[in-house]
Amino acid sequence: MSTLSPAMSGIDLDLFVRAGPVLYDPNPYPTFAIVDAASASMGSGTGFRVNIGHFDARNWTVPSSGANGNWTITWSVAGSSKTETFVVAGPTLSIAGSETGIVDRMIDNIRIDIGDFSNDIFPTSLLERYLIKSVMRLNRELGIAVGRVRPTGITPGGLGTPARIPSIALDLDARTLNPANDEIADIVVLQAEVLITQAEMSALRRSSTASAGAHGSATIVAASGVAAGNSDGVMIRNADGVVIDTRQRYASWMTARTQLFLAEAKQREDELKQAIKSLKHSFASSMGKVVY
């Protein structure tokens, strides 16, 4: 059972629409209505599409009014309904702690940079796995990983034990990143984008070796500059015998596509390298350490 507080979104209130075992998108999308512990209406709306057949209520925000306790959300779709109970409690007070919600903002930033504006390409769960890998990779690269094999990275005067700089920590359940600042969040996002780009290239290469279809050969086989076919061209002959044939342009089109793809990957990698270098020097300059 989810526990929410005022000002939080309903992202944890989700619904899966299935026809037997198969997920599908209904038309229109599912709608929801929410009541509080006293059965008073607390709002309604249309489900936000997370992935095929998966919707949540992130467009709804828990209001500060309403009785604390067990609230109920009722989903309606295609003449059927489904209810779920969740808890709404008062706000949590603390003097210090990590900023919450930063993980969701990082995922939104990744979607913006990789062009997944409508959440149609990458499910949130996959991007969370990329963030986990990004944090692990950055801790190693910066020499601040917990339990490292040998002292590396940043040390006092270049000698002795490593400087006591805390490792980057990601908690997906609490939606927190520590240290919780924009500099660390941005570099984690950059690392995730590099991993995504590299993974796409690797997957498409394997697809091209196993398939002669468009998904494989027409996408990345031309990484070497050699065209895989002429399926992108057209040939038209009118009644006067005039021919328009663009099939031979396939090679140049594929070369341009490949160059753009590889340029994007290199740009991301260069940006990440510069960000890591700047972060290392910020550690060194603020703590009198030597970076090697």
Split at pLDDT 50, 70, 90, the class of 88 is: very high
Please state, as a whole number, how many other Cβ atoms lie within 10 Å of the Cβ of residue 108. Answer: 15
Domains of the chain: 3-88 (2.60.40.1930), 98-292 (no CATH)
pTM: 0.51
Does position 259 have pLDDT exceeding 90, yes or no? Answer: no
Beta carbons of 84 and 71 less than 8 angstroms apart: no
Burial of 138 (0-12, 13-18, 19+ CB in 10 A): buried
What CA–CA distance (Å, rounded) separates 266 from 243?
Answer: 40
What's the average model confidence in pLDDT over 203-230?
48
Token pair 């920590």: residue:
169
Per-residue model confidence as pLDDT tens digits over 6-56: 888 898 899 999 988 899 999 999 999 999 999 999 999 999 998 999 999
The predicted structure's pLDDT at residue 32: 96
What's the average model confidence in pLDDT over 60-71?
90
Q: Which of 190, 187, 194 is nearest to 168 (CA)?
A: 187
Q: Is the model more confident about 191 or about 279? A: 191
Q: Is the model more confident about 44 or about 250? A: 44
Split at pLDDT 50, 70, 90, the class of 224 is: very low
Beta carbons of 193 and 265 less than 8 angstroms apart: no
The predicted structure's pLDDT at residue 122: 86
Split at pLDDT 50, 70, 90, the class of 248 is: low
Per-residue model confidence as pLDDT tens digits over 96-117: 555 567 888 899 999 998 888 8
The predicted structure's pLDDT at residue 148: 57
What CA–CA distance (Å, rounded) separates 36 from 42?
Answer: 6
Q: Is the model more confident about 78 or about 292? A: 78
Pairing outcome for strands 41-46 and 48-51: unpaired
What distances in angstroms separate CA 153 from CA 68, 135, 266, 286, one per listed residue? Answer: 50, 16, 24, 15
What's the average model confidence in pLDDT over 148-162?
50
What distances in angstroms separate CA 228 from CA 169, 204, 215, one per listed residue? Answer: 45, 14, 12
Does position 162 have pLDDT exceeding 90, yes or no? Answer: no
Dihedral over Cα of 264, 183, 105, 200: its sign: positive
Which residue type sits at 130? Y
Q: Is the model more confident about 174 or about 256? A: 174
The predicted structure's pLDDT at residue 130: 93
Split at pLDDT 50, 70, 90, the class of 165 is: low
Q: Is the model more confident about 153 or about 144? A: 144
Per-residue model confidence as pLDDT tens digits over 261-276: 778 888 888 888 888 8
To which H or E segment does residue 46 belong? strand 41-46
Assess whether the previous peptide bond of 179 is cis (omega < 30° from 0). Answer: yes
To which H or E segment does residue 154 belong? strand 154-155
What distances in angstroms separate CA 248 from CA 171, 221, 227, 245, 259, one per listed residue? Answer: 52, 17, 10, 7, 19
Does position 177 have pLDDT exceeding 60, yes or no? Answer: yes
Please state, as a whole number, how many other Cβ atoms lie within 10 Å of the Cβ of residue 272. Answer: 22
Please state, as a whole number, how many other Cβ atoms lie within 10 Å of the Cβ of residue 50. Answer: 18
**Chain-wide mean pLDDT for the chain?**
78
Beta carbons of 245 and 233 less than 8 angstroms apart: yes
What CA–CA distance (Å, rounded) separates 281 from 263?
Answer: 27
Instruction: Return the bridge partners of 37, or none.
Output: none
Token pair 């994007």: residue:
264
What's the average model confidence in pLDDT over 209-216?
48
What distances in angstroms separate CA 227 from CA 77, 147, 174, 255, 257, one per listed residue? Answer: 47, 48, 48, 8, 11
What's the average model confidence in pLDDT over 152-181?
69
Per-residue model confidence as pLDDT tens digits over 200-211: 877 766 665 555
